[in-house]
């Protein structure tokens, strides 16, 4: 097989066993579905004891110890029995959490919030957390709630 020049200066196909360079992965299924112009991404997880209060709109703020944001403002995410939309994301020190913030998280006190968020690592006063504010927008789109004749793009071929 003749060498196929590579603009990155890497070897042609025959020099690497006939495989394409750079490696080409198979097309990946789209992890989102679109309904009414909103994108549904992968879910946002909450502890079992918080899920009902997230679903009824009592809890509207979550603090996350992430190395980078896992959600984006305007994104719509499945969360248990409902779908939530992200309103705001801020990176804040743990020490800046107020009593009003605490009420929105559904936690009894700041130490309970520290324990819940610390599953990803230790949290001190200066530890930066993502403050994620959200609201419930409805039930998640599933095969039972999807309009007849439409398909979830994750399963399209």
Beta strand extents in the chain (DSSP E only): 33-35, 38-41, 61-64, 76-79, 82-93, 128-138
pLDDT at 91 over 50: yes
**How high is the pLDDT of residue 148?**
53
**How high is the pLDDT of residue 142?**
53
User: Positive or negative CA dihedral for 40, 63, 106, 114?
Assistant: positive
Tell the residue number behind the tokens 């990176």, with chain if given: 91
pLDDT at 136 over 70: yes
Q: Do 40 and 77 form a contact (C-beta atoms < 8 A)?
A: yes
User: Positive or negative CA dihedral for 33, 135, 63, 142?
Assistant: negative
| Residues 53-61, mean pLDDT to the nearest whole number | 91
Mean pLDDT of the chain: 74
149 — pLDDT class (breaks 50, 70, 90): low
Contact residues for 27 (Cβ-Cβ < 8 A; gap 6+): none
Residues of the chain with CATH 3.10.400.10: 31-140
pLDDT at 138 over 80: yes
The correct answer on CATH 3.10.400.10 for the domain covering 31-140 is yes
């Amino acid at each position: 097989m003749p060498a196929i020049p590579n603009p990155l200066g890497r070897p042609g196909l025959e020099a690497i066993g006939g495989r394409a360079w750079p490696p080409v992965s198979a097309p990946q299924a789209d992890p989102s579905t679109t309904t009414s112009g909103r994108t549904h991404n992968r879910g946002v997880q909450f502890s079992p004891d918080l899920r009902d209060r997230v679903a009824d709109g009592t809890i509207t703020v979550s603090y996350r110890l992430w190395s980078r944001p896992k959600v984006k403002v305007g994104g719509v995410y499945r969360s248990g029995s409902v779908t939530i939309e992200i309103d705001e994301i801020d990176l804040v020190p743990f020490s800046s959490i107020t009593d009003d913030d605490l009420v929105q998280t559904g936690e009894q006190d700041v130490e309970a919030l520290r324990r819940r968020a610390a599953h990803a690592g230790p949290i001190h006063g200066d530890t930066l957390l993502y403050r994620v504010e959200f609201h419930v927008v409805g039930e998640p789109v599933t095969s039972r709630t999807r309009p007849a004749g439409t398909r979830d793009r994750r399963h399209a071929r």
